[in-house]
């Protein structure tokens, strides 16, 4: 069945489907893929990365480290990073353009602050509008010299690295990127570097640093890292499927009748990542079902997936996630800041779930999303209205009146170059009477290359 048509202007139109059925092999986790390349580049030895996400953002990270002399190759579908130690990075001979990758920009700012060379980081037009001040401030307190546009708030950033001193920093927000930038700088700094968060953000950096042998200690919301001369190598990192990518198909199956999906990792050895700091999307969908889909059979997790031969492998918890369509309406709910934090990247697809729920959904605490790839709150509100959904924008979130399980009208939306907006409305198109036309759909390649082909292949 063909549900996706390509239009002459480059847009696509996604039409109604009866259901989604089959196995979905979810691409590797974007956050873990970034960090595997970064830490593999400063260890002494070779790190093989299986299921690396070859999205545009992660390719920006690869290109950056190649500019610093790191040898990164492909072998049998794996990415192989050869590092020569913590002090082996070379001064780049040109500006490092990370394009649209905020993760690359912010984490590199932390790493570059401790390097004995000069560097300049820039990005595309969208990234150059996104705030960097939260990262710059603590790094300067550690002794870094960082200059940028708008009083050091915006890219490009010019960084003169050097010797840093550890600090104790109370982070104003729960941000994995901010925390990670400080920890990477702290890896080189004199003495202890302590970061305390107001709430728990995703912890991939802490877990991987510990696996690489860093002197790091996590006590609740307090993370302490002490400088070390050398990191130990990890022979192989197995990247799980990205639950943020799986979320699109979870919601797609729940809102589309006659659906039954099995979500797995990219290959037979892996599952979808189920790191506890990333499970907010499952918690929210459970709440929207009411009785809880794990109990009623809508979403089922298998036991943790363990590869047949895990000797020498490092990996985070993984599961196969099975999803079937709801035999009752999703219900509108209130989603608080605390509930949204571990599902912040899933905001667009949560809005789509709310659009088909019975009743009103109120999402709060999403103010950070106004400075993502797009102003996600404003763009979601504008786009939902364009396809026939009643909603109201709030300063820190959105109020959505659901359709009660009925199909919506459909229409045309602009992704604004935001990959998660594009994919969310592709899922909404499965239940749109007139279909949904998406302008600039190619931005999905940032995190999910091949998304539309995969969606087409499982639609009926």
Q: What is the pLDDT of residues 58-84, one digit of tens each?
A: 999 999 999 999 999 999 999 999 999
CA gap 189, 196 in Å, rounded: 17
Q: Write out the two tokens for 242.
A: 């990205």
- pLDDT value at residue 296: 40
Tokens 């605390």 identify what position? Answer: 338
- pLDDT value at residue 302: 60
- Bond before 156 cis per omega within 30 degrees: yes
Sheet of strand 192-196: strand arrangement? 168-170, 192-196, 222-226, 215-219
Helices (H) and strands (E) in the chain, counts: 15, 27
- pLDDT value at residue 298: 58
Which residues on adjacent β-strands are paired with residue 335?
363
Residues contacting 165, CB < 8 A, separation 6+: 142, 143, 189, 190, 191
H/E segment holding residue 4 = strand 4-6
- pLDDT value at residue 260: 93
- Among 127, 119, 136, 64, residue whose Cα is nearest residue 101: 127
- pLDDT value at residue 58: 98
Burial class (CB in 10 A: 0-12, 13-18, 19+), 6: exposed
- pLDDT value at residue 371: 76
The tens digit of pLDDT for each residue in 334-364 reads 999 999 999 999 999 999 999 999 999 999 9
- pLDDT value at residue 304: 59
CA gap 255, 448 in Å, rounded: 21
Helices (H), 229-279: 243-255
Average pLDDT, the chain: 94
- Domains annotated on the chain, with CATH: 4-28+241-458 (3.65.10.10), 31-237 (3.65.10.10)
Active site residue 345: yes
Q: Write out the two tokens for 165.
A: 């001193």
Q: Which residues of the chain have pLDDT under 70?
A: 1, 290-312, 326-328
Q: How many C-beta atoms lie closer than 10 Å to residue 104's C-beta?
A: 29
Sheet of strand 397-401: strand arrangement? 334-335, 360-363, 397-401, 390-394
- pLDDT value at residue 313: 86
Q: Which of 29, 345, 414, 418 is catalytic?
A: 345
The tens digit of pLDDT for each residue in 74-124 reads 999 999 999 999 999 999 999 999 999 999 999 999 999 999 999 999 999
- pLDDT value at residue 300: 65
- pLDDT value at residue 295: 35
Helices (H), 227-341: 243-255, 280-289, 293-296, 337-340
Q: How many C-beta atoms lie closer than 10 Å to residue 170's C-beta?
A: 12
């Amino acid at each position: 069945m063909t549900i996706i048509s390509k239009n002459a202007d480059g847009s696509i139109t996604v039409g109604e489907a009866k259901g989604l059925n089959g196995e979905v092999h979810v691409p590797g986790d974007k956050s873990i893929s970034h960090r595997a390349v970064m830490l593999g580049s400063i260890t002494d030895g070779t790190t093989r990365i299986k299921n690396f996400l070859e999205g545009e953002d992660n390719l920006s990270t690869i290109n950056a480290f190649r500019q610093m002399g790191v040898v990164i190759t492909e072998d049998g579908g794996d990415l192989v990073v050869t590092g020569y130690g913590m002090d082996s990075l070379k001064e780049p001979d040109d500006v490092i353009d990370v394009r649209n990758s905020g993760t690359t920009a912010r984490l590199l700012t932390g790493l570059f602050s401790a390097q004995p060379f000069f560097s300049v980081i820039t990005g595309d037009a969208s990234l150059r509008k996104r705030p960097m001040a939260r990262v710059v401030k603590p790094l300067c307190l550690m002794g870094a010299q960082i200059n940028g546009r708008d009083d050091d708030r915006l890219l490009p950033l010019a960084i003169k690295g050097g010797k840093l001193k550890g600090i104790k920093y109370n982070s104003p927000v729960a941000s994995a990127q901010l925390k990670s930038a400080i920890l990477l700088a702290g890896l080189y700094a004199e003495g202890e570097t302590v970061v305390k968060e107001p709430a728990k953000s995703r912890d991939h950096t802490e877990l991987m640093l510990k696996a690489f042998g860093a002197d790091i200690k996590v006590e609740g919301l307090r993370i302490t890292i002490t400088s070390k001369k050398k990191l130990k190598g990890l022979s192989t990192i197995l990247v799980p499927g990205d639950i943020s990518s799986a979320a699109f198909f979870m919601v797609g199956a729940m809102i589309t009748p006659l659906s039954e999906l099995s979500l797995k990792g990219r290959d037979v050895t892996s599952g979808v990542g189920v790191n506890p700091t990333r499970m907010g999307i499952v918690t929210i969908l459970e709440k929207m079902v009411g009785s809880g889909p794990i109990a009623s059979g809508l979403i089922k997790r298998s036991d943790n997936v363990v590869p047949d031969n895990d000797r020498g492998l490092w990996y985070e918890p993984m599961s196969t996630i099975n999803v079937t369509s709801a035999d009752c309406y999703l219900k509108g709910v209130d989603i608080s800041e605390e509930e949204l934090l571990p599902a912040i990247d899933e905001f667009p697809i949560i809005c789509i779930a709310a659009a088909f729920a019975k009743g009103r959904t109120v999402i709060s605490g999403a103010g950070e999303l106004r400075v993502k790839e797009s102003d996600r709150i404003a763009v979601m509100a504008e786009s939902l209205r364009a396809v026939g959904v009643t909603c109201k924008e709030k300063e820190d979130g959105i109020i959505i009146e659901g359709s009660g399980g009925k199909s919506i009208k459909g229409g045309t939306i602009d992704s604004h170059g935001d990959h998660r907006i594009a994919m969310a409305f592709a899922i909404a198109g499965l239940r749109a009477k007139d279909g949904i036309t998406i302008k600039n759909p190619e931005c999905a390649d940032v995190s999910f290359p091949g998304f539309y082909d995969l969606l087409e292949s499982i639609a009926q």
